Amino acid sequence: MAGRGGTRATELLGRLGVAHTIHRYDHDPRSSSYGREASDALRVPPDRLFKTLVADVDGRLIVAVVPVAGSLDLKALAAAVGGKKAVMADPAEAERSSGYVTGGISPVALRKQLPVVVDDSALRHPAVFCSAGQRGMQIELAPADLIAATRATTAPIAKPG
C-alpha cells in the first residue's frame, strides 16, 4: 500500500484489518497550523481532528494525541505517564523517533515504539481523524481502533483552546 500512495500508518492499519478512511487535501506550505489547516480543508470540527505531539517526560519521549481545538496540558501528560515534568520534544528529535515529518506525524506505526496517550475526549466521537503519516493526509477511524493500533492509554491531557 505504501507503494501506491500509502504510508506506514495506513499499511499497518490494513495489516491489522482496521476499518479506516483516508482523506487527502492540498497542503499549503505557508500554513501556520497543520491541524487547523486539515480541519478547515476537510471540513471536520476541530474537536474531532487530533494532532500528534511528541513530548519529553523526565527524559523519556511520549506521544500525545490531542484535539486540534485545544492544546496539550504538559502537567496532565506527565501525570498520565507517572512522570514529574514534561516539555515539548525538539522537532528534529520528534521526527527521528517517529519517522515522520512535523505536520505529518502519525501516532500509528511510529519508527520507535513510544508510549502513546490519547486525550479521553476522543472517546466521545464515533470516529476521529489523525495524521496518516504525511502532510495533506488524514485517517478517519474509530477511537477504540486508534487506541488499539497504537497501544495507547487514554487520559484527560488536553486543555480547551
For position 133, which CATH number holds? 3.90.960.10
For residues 90 and 113, give the distance between their C-alpha atoms in angstroms, rounded to a whole number: 18
Place of cell 481523524: 129
Q: Are 105 and 6 in contact (CB under 8 A)?
A: no
State which residues of the chain have pLDDT below 50.
Answer: 1-3
- Give the pLDDT score at 5: 61
Beta pairing partners, 88: 55
Q: By residue range, what is the domain housing residue 49?
A: 2-160
Q: Are 84 and 52 in contact (CB under 8 A)?
A: no
Calculate the average pLDDT of the chain.
94
Distances in Å between the alpha carbon of 103 and those of 28, 39, 40, 52, 84?
11, 13, 15, 8, 27
Domain count, the chain: 1
Place of cell 483552546: 161
